[in-house]
Amino acid sequence: MPDSIFTVSPAPHIKSGLSSRKIMYLVALSLLPAGIAGVYIFGLSSLKVIALSILACIASEAVFLKLRNKDPMVALDGSAILTGLLLAYNLPPEIPFWIPVIGGVVSIIIGKQIFGGLGHNIFNPALVGRVFLQISWPVYMTTWKNPRWAVDAVSTATPLAREGAASFSYMDLFLGNHGGCMGEVCILALLLGAAVLLFTKIISFHIPASFIGAVMLFGWIFGGEGFFKGDFIFHLLTGGLVLGAFFMATDYVTRPLTKKGKVIFGIGCGLLTILIRLRGGYPEGVSYAILFMNAVVPMIDRYTKTRKYGFVQG
């Protein structure tokens, strides 16, 4: 199986129904550990959010395909499910039921179908939905719930919110023992899934490595009082960095084609993430950073075009 996948993964412009479907389901599978961890940490309400989000995505995809006179069954090709899953992972675990529903509809219709459906979208659909929700209902989107075994289970600031920092140990952050979005808190589970994707060569290491590397580097340089004093491990373990770097920045449709381009893309994402985290009005910058870099992908591709035979190493 790795062989058959290897032939499609570096060339996103080749669209073959079967392979992309297989890849979509594999990515969704690799996201399972993080989901299980989320449900375990925050309780069954997170499961409800995941289900609503996926259902909304599939339903709106099917309706829109029907409107465009296409086969509505294409909605089950796995991409809508993946979008719904990623969107749910980016939401706080306890949130009014209509928020994941609206998020799913916006993701699919504004993020994907308006551009022409799978393969034509400029931006990562799940992130479009998430950012729409984040800007529209910031109070709900930043009301975090503590893990269900915590004494004060109502709401807390995410570690990234400036005053909540420093009260968490690295181990708590790594295992997800703190408030946050349901799919991004447990770094361990995310890394498990990421390892599967890397091992099966569905994703290459270029984007995640340069993205995370850049966040740690710039976080170290600019994150503290004075230069080179930032807590870069904190920046690595909090927010949606790991989820974003491995599962969302690497989306086939919205990333650059060449290795060199991917590295530029990753570094750009990292720099913007740190910039927004440290200076922006919102606590988390990963989604905005990836969306912004999505927009410049055509330009990156243009300047990192490969020669006729094989790749030029970056």
Residues forming the site for other proteins (CB under 8 A)? 102, 110, 114, 132, 135-139, 142-143, 157, 161-163, 280-282
CB of 140 to other proteins, least distance (A): 8
What is the distance between the alpha carbons of residues 110 and 131, in angstroms, rounded to a whole number?
12
Smallest Cα–Cα separation from 251: which of 291, 212, 284, 215?
291
CB of 231 to other proteins, least distance (A): 19
What is the distance between the alpha carbons of residues 127 and 170, in angstroms, rounded to a whole number?
27
CB of 135 to other proteins, least distance (A): 4
Nearer to other proteins, 144 or 252 (CB): 144
Nearer to other proteins, 7 or 136 (CB): 136
Nearer to other proteins, 114 or 299 (CB): 114
CB of 105 to other proteins, least distance (A): 12
Residue 113 C-alpha from the chain's centroid: 19
CB of 101 to other proteins, least distance (A): 13
Residue 144 phi, psi (nearest 5)? -90, 155
Nearer to other proteins, 132 or 205 (CB): 132
Nearer to other proteins, 143 or 177 (CB): 143
What is the distance between the alpha carbons of residues 189 and 176, in angstroms, rounded to a whole number?
9
Asked whether the beta carbons of 116 and 90 are under 8 A apart, the reply is no
Question: What type of residue sits at position 50?
Answer: I
The residues, any chain, with a CB within 8 Å of residue 229's CB and separated by 6 or more, are: 220, 223
